[in-house]
Amino acid sequence: MLHSSFSGAAAPAVWTLRASVLATLLALSACGGDNAPVAEDVVETAPVVIPAAPAGLGYTDSAPLPDVPAFVDYAHTNQRDNPCMVGVATNAGVRVLSGFLDIWTPSTQIVDAGVNLAAANGCPAVTASAWSGVPGTSPDGTVVNAVAHAENIAFSTRITVQRTAEQAIAAYYDDRRGKNYSVTDGMGPFTGAWRKLARQTTTINDIPTDASTQVYNDGGNNTGVAGAANPEFGQVIAFVQSMGSNASTEPAKRFYKYARPWRWSNGVVVQPTLLPARSGTPATDGGFPSGHTAESVRNAIAMAYVVPERFQEMLARGLELGENRIVAGMHSPLDVMGGRVLGQASALGNIYAATPESRAAAYAQAQQALRAEASAKTDAEFLAAAQVPGIDHAAAAASYRHRLTFDFAQTGAAGKAAVVPKGAEVLLETRLPYLSPEQRRVVLKTTAIASGYPAMDDAEGFGRLNLFAAADGFGAFNGDVAVTMDASRGGFHAADTWRNAIGGAGKLTKLGTGSLTLAGSNAYSGGTQVQAGTLVAASAGALGQGVVHLDGTGTLKIAAGTAAKAGADFTQAGDAVLEVTAGNAAALQVAGKATLGTGSLLRVHFGAGTSAGQVIPVIQAGALLGRFGRIELPAGVNASPVYEAGGMGLRVQ
């Protein structure tokens, strides 16, 4: 082997590849002069040919607008008091939920439960429906999808019968408290600061001992104080409050006329302390969609927008409140799924309608005020303050996914391509700010859930959105993806992590000065090119199945404790950097050949426990061509490179 010593100076030691003859002489000298053994490693004299970067597919993916009336353009039609806006074709809130007609056909397909409207604007009068609200009594609707309906009521029965004491408490608070106050606890470490800044309060602080005890209504301030009266946080609260515009669930309830689960079956056990809260007028008390869920989801999305450091946690809290409506016995899963869809659509409609300047102002005020409360001086400190240690991200993602469909059987057509609602990219503009609007649409498309779930295949795509997964980046590269991050802009522009398992045949190109971490088990095959900034491989499969190519000023960093696999060849050219933490296994494991250019830099970090004479593996490959131009070690560490046909390592001295 070639034994070339490294400096142990205070500054990081740098070893530079010399001319072949000089390097060989130095190696022989270091091994004992004339009587030294011949070096096992022969330094190459022929220049190494640097392979071309992967070509990729040569095109990008897109998410075209659905060819249907867009909710964002017609949200204002979600009214129950206008005779011109009472049907699927004329009311956006009814239309976005029209997939429910494949499960249940109401006795009349008009917004008429408990509603009398005089003729106006050239539209005929509406006479209140004779629907009784009690299943099995005439007139009644018709169950179209018996499988989905039966599963819906069976789920409601099962979850209320199995309800634990802890679940009962959570269900009570989510029923009685203001919905916005409830979901604010999704802010985690920022909850107290948010409620203080918002001036948000509740009067529901205990639970009645039995059903005969008074059921209290929340007399607190549900959202907080908006506008000039709250100079520290008023723009934020005004933004959250704006989510309620054109967002009522009443038109849809009075159109679909689908009963509450406890009216469908005596097996559904309503939370005892909530029995007095049940409506005694079933004809105006439809269950689909859930109003509590719609409100919690739309407000949670607004708060996630202004505090994207808690994006996924806020979204999850919104859906948790919805599930608690099932636990309480007040709503069925389909009610809650419908509430989520309308809540998402309402949030989008109102965020989309706001000017970019007003959205930016609300975001900036939330960030500034919460940073001050957290005493965070840097982006890293603020992000750290937002996190709760020990959270199982995979489990949280699975829980969110469960609440999108409650694991119902797919009774509709499978394999339908996902579509993305008009304007939906704005929901991600603070969470994935370094992506273009079209890229954010593709993220939403490639992370959407499968088709076929009851009532979730609406024509705009709201039912299949998985916003939690979208915050973890692309689900597939079905075209080439170039990511440009600007570290000088801070926040997620400077550093972000994609946790999804990314598939597809496209190529990833990392550009800009920021750092992107890939933490999923990725199968994309179009290759990875790092031209600038840093790409961090934080899982064995982070780099996909294609060629990995470093060039320009790009850095590929292998996270400590990770043995990242390159599914094909690996090339390091130009002034690119490979950064690793020494461990027991090679940090980079290349299925094909590894090619190192003369300008390449290897930067090595050492953990505790390394000892003199130990050989630390760095690269394992089917074949190794070339040598690192420079190797950078921590101050005080001496090591020499060990090159072999199948890889490279460092011998600690």
Q: What is the CA radius of gyration of the chain?
A: 30
The answer to whether 527 and 547 have CB atoms below 8 angstroms apart is yes
Pick the CATH number of 71-446 from 1.10.1200.30, 1.20.144.10, 2.120.10.30, 3.50.50.60: 1.20.144.10
For residue 59, pLDDT beyond 60: yes
Which residues have C-beta within 8 Å of that of residue 320, sequence separation ≥ 6? 403
pLDDT at 40 over 80: no
pLDDT tens readout for residues 137-189: 999 999 999 999 999 999 999 999 999 999 999 999 999 999 999 999 999 99
User: 29-38, 248-257, 549-558, 604-613: which range is least confident on average?
Assistant: 29-38
pLDDT at 216: 81
- Which amino acid appears at position 444 of this protein? L
Residue 42: the pLDDT is 38
Q: What pLDDT, on the 0 to 100 scale, is given for residue 614?
A: 86
pLDDT band at 211 (very low <50, low <70, confident <90, very high): low
For range 580-598, the mean pLDDT = 95
Per-residue pLDDT tens for 374-406? 999 999 999 999 999 999 999 999 999 999 999
CB burial string 31-46: b at 16+ within 10 A, e below = eeeeeeeebebebeee
Please give the pLDDT value at position 24. 31
Mean pLDDT of 439-447: 98
Residue 46: what pLDDT? 63
What is the pLDDT confidence band of residue 347, given thresholds at 50, 70 and 90? very high
**21 has pLDDT over 80:** no
As a whole number, the mean pLDDT across the chain is: 92
Cβ neighbour number for residue 361 with a 10 Å cutoff: 17
Digit-coded pLDDT (tens) for 520-535 = 999 999 999 999 999 9
Among the residue ranges 60-69, 202-211, 317-326, 441-450, the one predicted with the least confidence is 202-211
In this prediction, residues 130-138 reach a mean pLDDT of 95
What percent of the chain has a predicted confidence (pLDDT) above 90?
88
Q: Answer yes or no: pTM beyond 0.85.
A: yes
The 10s digit of each residue's pLDDT in 415-434 is 999 999 999 999 999 999 99
Q: Is residue 251 within 8 Å of residue 91, measured between CB atoms?
A: yes
pLDDT at 28: 27
The terminus-to-terminus CA distance of the chain in angstroms comes to 14
The backbone torsions φ and ψ at residue 91, rounded to the nearest 5 degrees and listed phi first, read -125, 115
Contact by Cβ (8 Å): 387, 312:
no
Amino acid 328: pLDDT: 98
**Domain boundary assignment for the chain:** 1-61+477-653, 71-446
What is the spatial distance between Cα 320 and Cα 301, in angstroms, rounded to a whole number? Answer: 13
pLDDT of residue 52: 96
- Residue 47's pLDDT band (cuts 50, 70, 90): confident
Residues 6+ apart with CB under 8 A from 129: 107, 108, 110, 112, 113, 114, 115, 139, 254, 257, 283
Beta pairing class for 548-550 and 570-572: parallel
For 445-459, the pLDDT digits (tens) are 999 999 999 999 999
Cα-Cα-Cα-Cα torsion 79, 84, 88, 89, nearest 10 degrees, comes to: -130
What is the C-alpha to C-alpha distance for residues 270 and 485, in angstroms, rounded to an integer? 51
Q: What is the pLDDT of residue 14?
A: 43
H helix intervals, 184-244? 191-198, 234-241
What pLDDT sits at residue 607? 74
Burial group, residue 621, by CB count within 10 angstroms (0-12, 13-18, 19+): buried
Place of tokens 């500054």: 11
- Mean local confidence (pLDDT), 124-129: 97
